[in-house]
Structure 1
């Protein structure tokens, strides 16, 4: 019999539950026990659904007992970020103003994972409206990094990443506007997938206007402990949704097989990269080469311009959509500081002409990347140029805002272009913290990214357990 241990990967849990080797109720109880043990000290999950999770697990077990297929994610405990609709609790977006905003229906991705047998077990913490690269808010407080509480857990999907890394959930559902899945995954040693633009549905639009940057840069996606976990989740999540006009299906028939060629971006746009970050890239490169991939050095085209455009467009839209006058009450303290400092440093666009010209340049940059990825489909590089800094590292004035953004040039360019990217660990660094990289694919190139990710995962040292869990 398989043990319902909360450190099992999601794919292994689903296989064991479907085979009747372990019950979904045992799996949920093991994860709830882990939550009781570590969540009070980490504050990753804002709400825990103990009773409802047990009821949902019982339905999965009943399906197995009756000989029915409970679904590809049978019995897998899932955390759901505070900005994704789940009718079991308010969709707060990490903001006091939405503390009572219980949705009338589940988001499409929540419905899909539940239909696949997954069990929502809690809500993942986030900063107000996902604005920051750290996870803190006035409603729920700060999420701590399980490897070192003096380092940021990343953001904005920090709660879900910490929950997955510590065995409180086996999968996390989050989103990524500017690294919000990949940065927390890097910070805590998890695997985070930012899918292609339109591959996975976002929240229902309804009658509310949606900023153009949110339509084009932000995607929903999964966090797991292994590449196969996020690949399995992606297969469940993907596909067209009538409520999301940005969503669409991948090409029905794939084109010619993509060459197994990886381009290494060592120093994005000539930026300085921390030695531990560079070492992680070297480990990933060696793993890919050993697995038979052709590995070459490349420069990411027009990277600095892309990162500047992402930032200026994003800040222009945030000033409008997050105006306290429109919201009805102010953002939290740290979110207010972040918005003020980042927009001041970014120089938002002041005229419609500037805004339109910025979007027009996007096509030029996208074409340059497309030409590169026709020959070198996968790019390997850092998630961030630095090791994770201390809590609130993205606050403290224009200089701090600039530093946080510059570290993430490669990451935010992926959002600017709508490409898929996978963040995954490359073993422990010399400082004992997780090291990691990201693999960037061409549009709808998730499968080749998964293939490259499996090669990296198999060829680098495994991470141990976060210190809060002790030795196995």
Structure 2
């Protein structure tokens, strides 16, 4: 088995045991990148030279006999980082041609945390312009293809991250999620994707010219994608270390004593007035049966005001965007992001100051209702999207089509505006495309989501690496 086929946990174990060198691990992943990236365009910036140099330094530290407790949990493990966060010496393009000259002088907190855990960044992954679509395509770097089917989206905005993990370019990928940008690509590409709680993983781009808009600060988070829950846990723990540059970071424990115990689960199978696709409904029922067999008490139950929360996400996000994002987007964005933005903006109310303040106040009320609901049902099992993965460029068909997309993504938008964690869990293929479900818990209870995901993983089996060069798949550990 080639090193790139190993999961991150086993790779780290073999490196610490001196069964495999860091250089061998990095070279193997870079060879896999060279072999498959031309077919998917997940990676848009290779870090090969510096990654090999860092791998050699990591091997040297092991050779000096440094104690294992000083070796990070990801020592020598190749990872990828999304091109919209600062990585020292690389352009933070955010999928925009005009920003190719924005070269970071230092690492963002999430990149710094991965490095402190011993990870080696081998490449940077694609995102749509301004990271504002569920489709990964831009004029700066081109289109990322879904390795399962080039006719459907790999998701967005972390589409490059999800595709990279799916085809074996690194066992762990970094992504970020403001409105489903980790969870939806994970769903579309058939891998695991964790949106942590707001305040869990520190975020800051030193290259930025100003602070992010307020609602972006409250709803956008950094998180990992992987092919199994074990790797997700390791990456999440590494990313969540404190960085003083983010004043929103909260020192909450990563796991509670009751994390593995079965809990009551609210099963959400419909949005009033909006039926889900058969593949989505089937995945939910299969997941519910798996959890019940493991002792979870699953009850059909609608969480509080799901559609209203999703509409609030749109209203607040667009209010911020009109003031602080739109000028740059219209000036520097490509036509696809402009079209998607116009279509989305058509469905958002126009706010004056009083309206904006009222919407923020309404968010607090929704957060309270969900917190009370999650006291009774600590987990919610619901779709990632009410629809099977969208065809490519479905957001380029006008405002009516965008309305359908917004409704389909309501399970992503509602939880994002409330700052809740969500985990996208793959549930195998149907009609050649991935299916999946989402697990949502109260703030800082990612441990409940991951424990339940491990139950589903045990039933569904390991996620195989996709070979985009043909129909066959490559086995993974």
Q: TM-score with structure 2 length normalisation?
A: 0.94
Please give the root-mean-square deviation of Cα atoms over the aligned residues, in Å.
1.9
In structure 2, the CA distance between the partners of 1:252 and 1:452, relative to structure 1 (3 Å rule), is closer
Aligned partners of 1:239 and 1:247 also within 8 Å: no
| CA displacement 1:344-381 (0-9 Å, x = unmatched) | 1223x331111111111111111111111111111111
Please show how residues 52-451 of structure 1 align to structure 2 within 5 Å: 52-68=50-66, 69=68, 70-204=71-205, 208-250=210-252, 260-324=263-327, 329-347=331-349, 349-429=350-430, 431-451=431-451
Deviates more, 1:461-470 or 1:62-71: 461-470
CA distance 1:27–1:398, change in 2 (3 Å)? same
Q: Using the alignment, how far apart are the partners of 1:281 and 1:289 within structure 2?
A: 12
2:4 paired residue number: 6
Structure 1 Cα separation of the partners of residues 223 and 17 of structure 2? 27
1:206-228 Cα shifts (integer Å, max 9, x gaps): 76132111110100111111111
TM-aligned CA deviation for residue 327 of structure 1? 6.7
Shift of residue 85, structure 1, vs aligned partner: 0.6
Residue in 2 aligned with 1:40? 38
Gaps of 5+ in 2: none
Shift of residue 322, structure 1, vs aligned partner: 2.0
Contact 1:45/1:122, CA 8 A, preserved across alignment: yes
Displacement of 1:455 in angstroms is 0.7
Shift of 1:328: 8.9
Instruction: Quote how far apart the aligned CAs of 1:289 are.
Output: 1.4
Question: How many angstroms does 1:330 deviate by?
Answer: 2.8
Separation in 1 of the partners of 2:346 and 2:468?
Answer: 38
Residue 442 of structure 2 corresponds to residue 453 of structure 1: no
Q: Can you list the C-alpha shifts for 1:94-128, whole angstroms capped at 9, x where unaligned?
A: 11121111111001111111121111011110011
Residues 387 and 323 (structure 1), Cα distance of their counterparts in 2 relative to 1, 3 Å cut? same
Tell me if structure 2 keeps the 8 A contact 1:426–1:462.
no
Shift of 1:67: 2.5
Measure, in 1, the Cα distance between the counterparts of 2:272 and 2:54.
Answer: 49
Secondary structure of 2:124 counterpart:
strand
In the comparison of the two structures, how many residue pairs are matched?
A: 467
1:64 CA drift (Å): 2.2
CA contact (8 A) 1:269 1:303 kept: no
How far residue 77 of structure 1 moved from its aligned partner, in angstroms, is 1.0
Structure 1 residue runs without a partner (length 5+): none
- Structure 1 residues 122 and 467 mapped into 2: Cα distance closer, same or farther (>3 Å)? closer
Q: Secondary structure at the match of 1:30?
A: helix
Determine helix, strand or coil for the equivalent of 2:194: strand
State the Cα deviation string for residues 299-345 of structure 1 (Å, max 9, x = none).
01111110111001111111222233x57933111111111111012
- TM-score normalised by length of structure 1: 0.95
Distance (whole Å) between structure 1 residues aligned to residue 423 and residue 30 of structure 2: 28
CA distance in 2, matches of 1:408, 1:390: 14
Deviates further, 416-425 or 269-278: 269-278
Please give the alpha-carbon distance, in whole angstroms, between the structure 2 residues aligned to 1:201 and 1:244.
5
